[in-house]
Chains A and B, each alone.
Chain A
Amino acid sequence: MIKDQIKKIYKAKIINTEKVSTNSYYIEIDCNKEIEAKAGQFVSIYCEGLTFRRPFSIFTNNKGKIGILYKERGKGTKYIKSLKKGESIDISGPLGNSFSIKNCKSLLIGAGIGTAPISFLKSKLENENIENIFIAGFLNKNEIPKLINPNIIYTDDGSFGKKGNVLSDTEEIIKKYKPEIIYGCGPEIVLKKISELGERYNIETQISLEKLMACSIGVCRGCVIDIKHGTKTVNASVCKDGPVFWGNEVIWQ
């Protein structure tokens, strides 16, 4: 029964729910078990009546408590939104790999709800006194979740912070700030541009991808992407080999 210690599925209890912007929510779950999540890892949540568990990046982790930020998108997130404080939730994790933290000047880029794992990463970097800047981008002021902690915020319509998308000034920031590594999470188009910038300025990039998952543990091979492996192209599953990849190893579609 020693193995029970490492079982990664829990009937957990919701201890906090909060609307944090016009369309995003925070939920905190007590897994009643010590959990040590790394930045970039995710949990999967069973949503009643749905075949696929839904994956969410971990936003906060305090001992046995896991917090996630999510945007209401479809049936899964609608179900999670319907759950109330005190109710039980079927959660498994932490799953997947994580950002591999380097002790060097770091640029953090998050777009939309992709700011959640980047916020978690920032707190980890700060625990280790690693110098960093976190830039975040949103469509408009109403979509900025109130719990995140970026240094610079962009909005597409200029309703808050700087006007423009999250990558509007990245080249200048790179030139001035001279980061040695860039971490990113957000829509694929943003991640692709981050990895291109990394190659252009010879900076390592780590990006966190999202893909529809069936099993979320590397079994079904449903969420694979193409990865460069030496001169060959190989399959990598976003759920188990990822969700974090080196920007220069991803073959973008």
Chain B
Amino acid sequence: MAVINNILQTNLNGLILKNPIMTASGTYGYADEYDDFINVENLGAIVTKAISLKPREGNKHTRIAETEAGMINSIGLENVGIEKFLKEKLPVLKEKNIDFIMNIAGSTQEEYTELAKICNENKIKAIELNVSCPNVKTGCIEFGVDEKALYNLVSEVRKNYKGYLIVKLTPNVTSIENIGIAAEKAGANAISAINTIKGMSIKLNYINGRFNKAVVQGGYSGIGIKPAALSAVSKLSKVVSIPIIGIGGIEKLNDILEFFAAGAQAIQIGTANFTHPDIAEKLIFELEEYILQNGFKDLNELKRELRI
């Protein structure tokens, strides 16, 4: 297996990653679960499951469905809460030398502010603001679809948090460019795009004279959303100057190259982690090999050549 050297090093305007491959929030837990499959410390970073001020139980049953090209989830941000995260999960990440970005989610601006303060006090190097979960009735998506509300929220978080601030955008808007511009103006260091697309799965089964109906309404992710994600990244890259982290349906090397072409500086792998729990690490090795085999000096040169 190839040795990871610094040809993959990625500088996101201040946040330096060993490589541009991260794992998306909600698909990697708090990383310890993946120890059985890969050497997690090889990843550019893992983005934690969204963490809220208080623990959340999440939504009631039938939370997932498989679709023709991905999945629908309606988990509802089930998580351990920030107190338990800091006490139990953070020491494990640190001990194992895993680079991580903490994803945080609130229901009100006050909650986000409080979370930002706690992250600041605990010297969390980078956070990703979840302003775009489609599965929580009150709160975070409201911010993600309204540029003024988002501007105020990000400004408030910025005041209280000195580290690296990423804002994760929802595609469920008319103009993702305007939302991206608002995030940049309010002081975000980077944008990640996209979160899940609103989607629904209906599975019908006619048994003994009646229909059995399995319905899940929630966020659509997986290979099927890649075109929407590429479009969002490309549009954002034309209007903001902060780095963009591309997310949406990535499951092979070529997908990553396409995101670089669209203007992403780094990427996150989401749903594919479920299908192939070792995919993220594999893609790091594949990307490195691709650069070496094709005679590029480093990742930066490859990105320049790819850019459309």
Contact = CB atoms under 8 A, between A and B. Distances in A.
Interface of A: 3, 6-9, 46, 50-53, 90, 92, 212-225, 234-235, 240, 253
Residue in B35, B63, B223, B274 whose Cβ sees the most chain A Cβ within 10 Å: B274
Contact of B274 (A6, A9, A53, A234): A53
Contacts of B38: 7
Nearest to A3: B39
B27 interface: yes
Given A46-B276, A224-B58, A52 B66 contact: yes
Contacts of A9: 37, 277-278
Contacts of A235: 57-58, 78
B78 A223 contact: no
Nearest to B29: A219
A50 B223 CA distance: 11
Nearest to B65: A212
B75 A221 contact: yes
A167 B265 CA distance: 60
A217 B36 contact: yes
Instruction: Tell me whether chain B's interface is mostly helix, strand or loop, or mixed.
Output: loop
Contacts of A51: 66-67, 69-71, 222-223, 271, 274-275
Contacts of A6: 36
Residue in A7, A213, A214, A240 whose Cβ sees the most chain B Cβ within 10 Å: A214
A92 B274 contact: no
B33 A212 contact: no
Contacts of B278: 7, 9
Interface in B66-90: 66-67, 69-71, 73, 75, 78
A225 B278 CA distance: 27
A235 B275 CA distance: 23
A219 B78 contact: no
Contacts of A212: 64-66
Given A212-B64, A220-B73, A223-B64, A92 B39 contact: no
B242 to A, nearest CB: 29
Contact of B61 (A50, A213, A225): A225
Contacts of B37: 7-9, 92, 217
A186 B39 CA distance: 37
Contacts of B276: 46, 90
B199 interface: no
A225 B61 CA distance: 7
Contacts of B63: 221-224
Interface in B256-283: 271, 273-278
B275 A224 contact: no
Contacts of A217: 33-34, 36-37, 277
Interface string B11-40: 000000000000000111100011111110
Contacts of B33: 217-219, 240
A253 B61 contact: yes
B27 A219 contact: yes
A51 B199 CA distance: 16
B71 to A, nearest CB: 5
A8 B37 CA distance: 6
B76 to A, nearest CB: 9
Contact of B275 (A8, A46, A218, A219): A46
B250 to A, nearest CB: 13
Residue in A53, A225, A234 whose Cβ sees the most chain B Cβ within 10 Å: A53
Nearest to A8: B36
Nearest to A93: B36
A53 B33 CA distance: 16
Given A3-B39, A46-B275, A221 B58 contact: yes
Contacts of B34: 217, 219
A253 B62 CA distance: 12
Given A51-B67, A51-B222, A219-B28, A214 B73 contact: yes
Nearest to A253: B61
A220 B274 contact: yes
Nearest to B1: A1
Interface in B220-279: 222-223, 271, 273-278
